Amino acid sequence: MSDPIQPAPDDEETESDRRHTNIFLAAMFVVLLGIGYWLVDALVAHRDLDNCLSQGRRNCAPLANPGR
């Protein structure tokens, strides 16, 4: 008996598929790093404001000077 010929599965991952997946994962990693940096920066600013207020200071909030 001869072995039946099996068709190639459609699930084969090509080099192009891997490249697109890697680019997508790298972009998501950069986005997560950006969100993490923003979150840490916001937490540090809030901590500094909280420390200032807990010491009883009254001029803790930064004031924005309008341009002339």
Instruction: Give the residue-averaged pLDDT of 11-39.
Output: 94
Where does the pLDDT of residue 38 fall: very low under 50, low under 70, confident under 90, or very high at 90 and above?
very high
Instruction: Answer yes or no: is pLDDT of 9 > 70.
Output: no
- Asked which of 5-14, 16-25, 32-41 is least confident by mean pLDDT, the reply is 5-14
CB 60 within 8 A of CB 52: yes
Residue 52, classified by CB atoms within 10 Å of its CB into exposed (0-12), middle (13-18) or buried (19+), is: middle
Instruction: Answer yes or no: is pLDDT of 1 > 60.
Output: no
For residue 8, the model assigns a pLDDT of: 60
Give first-to-last CA distance, the chain, whole Å: 93
Secondary structure of residue 27 in the 3-state scheme: helix
